[in-house]
Amino acid sequence: MRHSIYQENDGQDAFTDLLFNALLGFSFMFVAAFALIRDPDNSGKIDSKAEILITVRWADRHPDDVDTLVEGPDGNLVWYHNRDSGLMHLDRDDRGLFADRVVLDGVEVSNPINQETVSVRALQAGEYVVNLLHYQSNYSAPLPVTVKVEKLNPTVSLVFYGTRELKGVGDEQTAVRFTVNAEGEVVGTNELPKALLTRALGGKS
């Protein structure tokens, strides 16, 4: 009788050992699989970090084309012919109603927003100039265009907000000029006019 009890206990011990070994095996496979997980390849990844965001807007569904030109302290210029200067980037070049169709879930819809944005990814000490160019005009009435400049770090703060009225093809106006010090702080703004298009066209040629 005692011998049969021993046999039952041996069977239970064997089952327990088998269950433990199986659990140990699954645990090992989980750890091994987790260790083999790799970060996705970061090649071609665009750093979305920005210090300054410049937003230019005009009436939704308006057919006119407005261009944004931004000059940095180093003299580099961002506009539709040079969308990336290294530290500054034209994120969105809006051409009025042209190419304002987008596909969402397989359906083509109209994007009514007229907006251009320029991001400054790292700040240099010196003056930045933000100009507007009325590239294409369809009406004789002036076109109101709003310009907003925001400093994003360490918290979002408004540097400038204002409106300019563009008066037809070729009209270039300075919206704002702002100065950044060595510590990365905006220390002053002004609206003195400065032409950028002539130099941009000269640089292009």
121: in domain: yes
86, 76 Cβ separation under 8 angstroms: yes
Q: Work out how many domains the chain is built from and give that number.
A: 2
What's the pLDDT score for residue 38? 47
Q: Over the stretch 181-200, which tens digit does the pLDDT of each residue have?
A: 999 999 999 999 999 998 77
- 91 and 1 in a common domain: no
| CATH of residue 71 | 2.60.60.30
Interatomic CA distance for residues 36 and 33, integer angstroms: 5
- What is the pLDDT averaged over residues 12-21? 66
Q: Over the stretch 26-79, which tens digit does the pLDDT of each residue have?
A: 666 655 555 555 444 444 444 458 999 999 999 998 999 999 999 999 999 999
- 69 and 30 in a common domain: no
- 64 and 22 in a common domain: no
163: pLDDT confidence band, cut at 50, 70 and 90?
very high
Q: Over the stretch 131-162, which tens digit does the pLDDT of each residue have?
A: 999 999 999 999 999 999 999 999 999 999 99
Interatomic CA distance for residues 119 and 89, integer angstroms: 5
pTM above 0.85, yes or no: no
The DSSP letter of residue 51 is S
84, 78 Cβ separation under 8 angstroms: yes
What's the pLDDT score for residue 200? 73
Measuring CA to CA, which residue among 54, 53, 178, 73 is closest to residue 124? 73
- 194 and 171 in a common domain: yes
Query: How long a stretch of residues is the chain?
Result: 205
158: in domain: yes
- 74 and 152 in a common domain: yes
What's the pLDDT score for residue 147? 98
Structural domain boundaries, residue 184: 52-204
88, 75 Cβ separation under 8 angstroms: no
Tokens matching residue 122:
């790292």
Q: What percent of the chain has pLDDT over 90?
A: 56
Measuring CA to CA, which residue among 134, 154, 3, 166 is closest to residue 69? 134
Interatomic CA distance for residues 182 and 139, integer angstroms: 44
CA angle 76-77-79, nearest 5°?
155
42: in domain: no
26: in domain: yes
Tokens matching residue 167:
């008066």
100: in domain: yes
- 26 and 60 in a common domain: no
What's the pLDDT score for residue 189? 98
